[in-house]
Chains A and B, each alone.
Chain A
Amino acid sequence: MPPGCPFNPRCPQAEDICREQRVSLEPSRARLVACHFGGLKTLLDARDVGKTFRRGRRRMQALDAVSFALRQGESVGVVGPSGSGKSTLARILTGHLATDTGEVTLEGRPLARSWGRAARAQRVRIQLVMQDPWDALSPRLTVEELVREPLDLAGGGGDGGDSAGSVAAALASVGLPASGNFLGVRSHELSGGQLQRIALARAVIIESELLVADEPTSMLDASEQARLMVALRERQTELGLGLVLISHGIALVRKATEGGET
């Protein structure tokens, strides 16, 4: 038996306390739970989030009092027609856009949009997979540079051998090759499905805890959609990631979030 909580080696929310102190059964959410955090931690909490865009005298309310909570490893689906504010919500949840009303917190701390070190470190924990992979990936960088960028920014890209191995593993985890030819091509030479899987590889190569996928399959054909969703679900299960899947297709959301709470 490992010291501390017996589940800590495979628990995605394990912290130092889980490795050091044993845990006993305690009441939590009307159940008895043996966990230092009372069970699954609430990762992301959106409370009464509102956003209004103004152009001259015109005002358009994109979001009105949106609330939900996402616990570690859970999946949440957001479904709505085009123009209903789904992408606005995705950008707010990832700290790219400020709210007008309400608040979004990550493990109890409000999401900050500043350029400060703490705000940047917080943003890394939530990754956005954008709708348009051609826009999300710089046309000037090669596949290797694109996948390595998050490592470089996290300060883990210094050792060439390690980073090359991480890049290869991340690409393999989304079903892409890590050959020299493929690593050297630029985004405009790849298909939408390949680009979206590269975007997913970038999101999982660092230790992010939550993925917000904003209509990730809307620009892909049926076979690429299936491949991407399989890769997304596999990585979510393997890494214990939280997932907010945004789509206008309820069938896709139901499929991707089945087994979780939606």
Chain B
Amino acid sequence: MSALRSPLALAGVGLVTLLVVAAVLAPVIAPYAPDVPSGPSYASPSLDHPVGTNNLGQDMLSRLIWGARASLTVAVGAATLALAIGGVVGMAAGLVGGVVDTVAMRVVDILLAVPRLPLLVLVAALAGAGVLTVTVLIGLMFWPPMARIIRSRTLSLRGRGFVESARGFGAGLPYLIRRHLLSALGPLVAVEFVAVASNAVLLEASLAFLGLADPTAVSWGLDINRALAEPGIYFTSAWLWWVLPTGFAITLAIMGFTLLGVGLEPVLNPRWERGS
């Protein structure tokens, strides 16, 4: 396994695994309910509360663990949606060509020119910022670059000998996509999926940081938003366990997805070791 030979890729696998384990096992491994006071306000780290408590006396470790679930849900949901739309549009444009390709790519050009965060803030403010809304919004924002990349690779694959050979054996579009395109696009799609997931974690946290989130939800961005809204937070040492660990969790999650993307290509591409 080439990925396991790279320490950076290994770190990526470890960080994402940690995130997934925390998200899936949150009800089991979190010591307290994240939304219920479980100790005194601003309690510093102790055996009872390893990462301290916030202004409401909620356990920060539990909030960090439950926050992973919110981040991962948005990340996976948004990346899946972006991949589904971008994959269909990109493969159709690349294989069919002609008018379909021209129209699809002009729509992609227009959408790529729209600044993402301001539009996201605007729509989230108007439509509400629940997990589903944020997930769908981020997914809709990231399909155009995904479509462009998949279309470009599809165009190059369409001219490859093994695709032409399959056409010569009587292959139709569904067979070509299923047998040759999907497997050849796999490494690229996996890397792009992880890149969108990484962006989605950051965008979800950014929106929550700006206050665009369900106020009853548990989210890393929302915790930083509340911490910074607390008057005089930096005149106490509470920021050390209220702001820093949350920011650190966001950074590690993004870093994990990025390193995983770097490590995935050698594993998924059988010709990687030949340098071709």
Contact = CB atoms under 8 A, between A and B. Distances in A.
Given A140-B183, A140-B270, A128 B173 contact: no
A149 B166 CA distance: 8
A153 B175 contact: yes
B168 A123 contact: yes
B274 A188 contact: yes
B270 A153 contact: no
B232 interface: no
A124 B161 contact: no
Interface residues of B, number: 21
Interface in A197-219: 199, 202, 206
Contacts of B162: 135-138
A120 B165 contact: no
Given A135-B161, A140-B270, A127 B180 contact: no
Contacts of A123: 167-170
B175 A136 contact: no
Identify the interface centre among B161, B168, B172: most chain A CB within 10 Å of its CB.
B168
Interface string A120-141: 1101101110101001111110
Contacts of A47: none
Nearest to A140: B183
B168 A154 contact: no
Q: Is the interface of B mostly helix, strand, loop or mixed?
A: helix
B271 A153 contact: no
B168 A128 contact: yes
Contacts of B48: none
Nearest to A199: B165
A139 B271 CA distance: 7
B160 interface: yes
B184 A153 contact: no
A128 B160 CA distance: 14
A199 B168 CA distance: 12
Interface in B92-141: none
Contacts of B230: none
A121 B170 contact: yes
Contact of A153 (B169, B173, B183, B274): B169
Contacts of B179: 149
Contacts, number: 69
B4 interface: no
Given A130-B165, A135-B162, A153 B170 contact: yes
Interface string B18-41: 000000000000000000000000
Given A140-B184, A153-B175, A188-B270, A96 B167 contact: yes
A124 B170 contact: yes
The size bracket of the interface on A is 20 to 34
A206 B172 contact: no
Given A96-B167, A121-B170, A138 B180 contact: yes
B171 A153 contact: yes
A24 to B, nearest CB: 38
A255 B274 CA distance: 36
A96 B160 CA distance: 12
Contacts of A192: none
A186 interface: yes
A150 interface: yes
A118 to B, nearest CB: 11
A124 B171 CA distance: 9
Contacts of B171: 120, 153
Contacts of A128: 164-165, 168
Interface string B237-261: 0000000000000000000000000
Given A140-B183, A140-B184, A96 B164 contact: yes
A93 to B, nearest CB: 11
B168 A127 contact: yes
A170 to B, nearest CB: 13
Contacts of A202: 165, 169
B169 A124 contact: yes
Contact of A149 (B160, B169, B271, B274): B169
Given A128-B168, A135-B160, A202-B169, 10 more contacts: A96-B168, A115-B172, A120-B170, A123-B167, A135-B162, A136-B162, A138-B180, A140-B270, A153-B170, A199-B165
25 contacts: A94-B168, A120-B170, A123-B167, A126-B168, A127-B168, A128-B164, A128-B165, A128-B168, A130-B164, A132-B161, A135-B160, A135-B161, A136-B164, A136-B165, A137-B161, A138-B180, A139-B271, A140-B184, A149-B169, A150-B169, A153-B169, A153-B170, A188-B270, A188-B271, A202-B169
